[in-house]
Amino acid sequence: MTAPSPKSSANIAAPIGIAGKELWQREWQVKQQGAVQWLYPLVLFLVIITLFPLAVGSEPQLLHRLGVPAVWIAALLSLVMGVDGLFKPAMDNGTLAQLVVSRTSLPLWVLIRLTIHWIFSSGLVALLSLLAVPLFGLSWGEAGALLVSILVGSPMLLMLSAIASSLTLSLKNGAVLVPLIALPMQLPVLIFATGAVDLYATGLNGLPIFALLAAGSIISVLVMPWAIAMTLKMAWLN
């Protein structure tokens, strides 16, 4: 009996998954091509923090007191608004099916996709939060603490929104249910983050809360992609 040739062995070999570098390059290009979609949440964030002072009034003390909650609420709403297109296009255009068939690591793809989405959403929102200095009269120290709170808290918010988006992927009007599922889980993050900035503003130590938010984000980044990948695979099979 003759041994199979290398060529024939290659023909019957199972497909090899896509490497992480290729996944990153592909998702980065896809994100850049859909610039209009990721600009919508940023525009919403700017509209909220710009109109809020006009609606509340020009009293400096009131604006200063409401500045941090207003910016965080705007950041949360803009983040929830942008999660609708996280996985639905990949399901519709067959990208998810190709990843499953090629035995590509779905958790790695989910992590890369969410990381790039975070850069274009929460990362830019954190920089735009510095507008709270002229709009709400925050000091640069308070604005810096606000920026840090968004940076350390937003990954956990994104993961919670992503798991809600994956759970409603197979539903016809699932996008409507995403905020209803995600917001109750995200409220503690909002409370802790604004509380940490308030502690810093009053001269107290807010580092333990920042560390708690960072720990929650790290745990979410390590665990959630696996849960999301499993949910996406079940949605594709169904």
* Domain limits, the chain: 38-237
Report pLDDT digits (tens) over 170-226: 777 767 788 888 888 999 999 999 999 999 888 888 899 999 999 999 999 999 999
Question: Hey, what are 72's tokens?
Answer: 């965080």
Neighbours of 189 (CB within 10 A): 24
Q: What confidence category does residue 34 fall into, taking pLDDT thresholds of 50, 70 and 90?
A: low
In tens, the pLDDT along 3-32 reads 444 443 333 333 445 667 788 888 888 777
> Which residue's entry shows tokens 């590509």?
104
Mean pLDDT for the stretch of residues 139-166: 92
| Greatest C-alpha distance within the chain | 90
41: left (phi over 0), alpha (psi -120 to 50) or beta: alpha
The confidence band for 35, taking pLDDT boundaries of 50, 70 and 90, is: low
CA distances from 39 to 17, 155, 197, 207 (A): 32, 19, 27, 32
Cβ atoms of 193 and 153 closer than 8 Å = yes
The per-residue DSSP string of 143-202 comes to: HHHHHHHHHHHHHHHHHHHHHHHHHTTTSTTHHHHHHHHHHHHHHHHHHHHHHHHHHHHT
* Cβ(38)–Cβ(83) below 8 Å: no
Question: 3-state DSSP call for residue 13?
Answer: coil
pLDDT for 195: 92
Mean pLDDT of 133-155: 93
- Rounded to an integer, what distance in angstroms lies between the CA atom of residue 37 and that of residue 58? 33
Q: For residue 219, what are its two tokens?
A: 């745990």
| Residue (of 115, 128, 119) closest to 159 by Cα position | 115
User: Among 98, 125, 123, 135, which Cα is nearest to 17's?
Assistant: 98
Record the pTM: 0.84
Residue carrying the six token digits 């840090």: 148
**What's the pLDDT at 11?**
34
